[in-house]
Amino acid sequence: MALPLDGLVAYEFGSNVAGPFAGSILAELGATLIKIERPEGDDARSWGPPFAPDGTATIFHALNRNKKSVTVDLKDPAQLQKLRERIAADGDIVVQNMRPGAMKRLGLDSETLLEMNPRLIYCNLNAFGADGPLKDRPGYDALMQAFGGIMSVTGEEGQAPVRCGISVIDMGTGMWCAIGILSALFRRGVSGKGGLVDAALFETAVQWMTFYSADYQTTGNPPKRHGSGVRGIAPYEAFECADGYLIVAASNDRLFIKLADAIGQPEWKADPRFATNPKRDANRVELKRQLSNMLIQQPRAHWQSILDEAGVPNAPTQSIDEVLEHPQTVAAGMVQQVAGAPFGLIGLPLSFDRERPGPALEGAGSGPGQ
């Protein structure tokens, strides 16, 4: 299939998760993605166990499919000059998440490369951004989940802060990079000129806190943790059943009435504590107690059947094996086989004309020096 970025050449100076995730999006969308690695390779190659049979960490395969990997000794002036000239000659995009100041010292910064190639789209992915007192400080996903406030609203109230189980800030910032690059490419199509895109882990974390920010500025009260639930909506969380947990999402008054009827609790509809969503939220502890006492008596499938029939949104909390084996995952074609990877990799969650982009390169991302 013809992909949106077919014919474009992108250079990735990325390591770990954030930069490579941004680069992987560009590669999945059709760009020829050239990953520049140090002679020892991306740090993520050794982020294990687990390791693939080729000795490379599984996380590296997951983040670097569909890329061409090239080793460059960034301490060698001759190799650096060749790299600058190549980017100036054929580069459309550069995305980098090197330590602050590193690209400037190497002469691979936006000012240098944009002067050589005015049509270039250059994307900086930093920890704290281009400005401010922390602009030169490095950072990682867990640090930003803490510093940006996300850990303050994740987990159970009264317990230790909890990090989201995925690298949500790294991958979220990679997505913002892709959005910024695509926007800059659209602008270039009009003006003929490239430009600079800046994204930052900290800024992504703060942006993800958008409605908590609105809550605090309205009430003056810092938000609380609600475990699997969310502020302002009840019931909308995981409840224990006889064989696992089930999310019940009766997120408005109409759905709550359906829930009450479906599980044989019509009296809830007349209970003033549960009459409206704000009242249910105020009495969420009692509502959870009553609903938990019911759901624990039967397995998840029993309640799923009843709630599905009533039109009440629900979902079991699945482990990754259940997710991968589920017929919906299979039907969507989300798991793709890639040459060079010893296991299936998750595809891009986008389709064009009902077709999902798939593997493009033989053995892409399997080792430095390709």
Global model pTM greater than 0.85? yes
For 128-195, the DSSP string reads S-SSSTTTT----HHHHHHHTSGGGGSS-TTS-----SS-HHHHHHHHHHHHHHHHHHHHHHHHS--E
pLDDT of residue 360: 64
pLDDT of residue 362: 44
- Tell me the CA distances in angstroms from 39 to 11, 14, 23, 85, one per residue in order: 17, 14, 19, 20
261 is catalytic: no
Question: CA–CA separation, 176 vs 47, rounded Å?
Answer: 24
The residue type of 11 is: Y
Residues of the chain with pLDDT under 70: 360-370
Exactly one of 92, 109, 141, 170 is catalytic; which is it?
A: 170
Task: Report residue 63 as tokens.
Answer: 């983040």
| 9-208+331-346 classified as CATH 3.40.50.10540 | yes
Contacts of 117 (CB under 8 A, 6+ apart): 87, 88, 89, 91, 194
Q: Which helix (H) or strand (E) holds 83?
A: helix 77-90
Burial class (CB in 10 A: 0-12, 13-18, 19+), 358: middle
As a CATH number, domain 236-316 is: 3.30.1540.10
The residue type of 102 is: A
Residues of CATH 3.40.50.10540 domain(s) within the chain? 9-208+331-346
List, for residues 256-306, the tens digit of each pLDDT value.
999 999 999 999 999 999 999 999 999 999 999 999 999 999 999 999 999
Closest residue by Cα to residue 364 from 122, 51, 12 = 12
Contact assessment for residue 117 and residue 92, using Cβ atoms and an 8 Å cutoff: no
The residue type of 128 is: F
Contact assessment for residue 84 and residue 113, using Cβ atoms and an 8 Å cutoff: yes
Longest dimension (CA), the chain: 79
The residue type of 101 is: G
CB atoms within 10 A of CB 155: 17
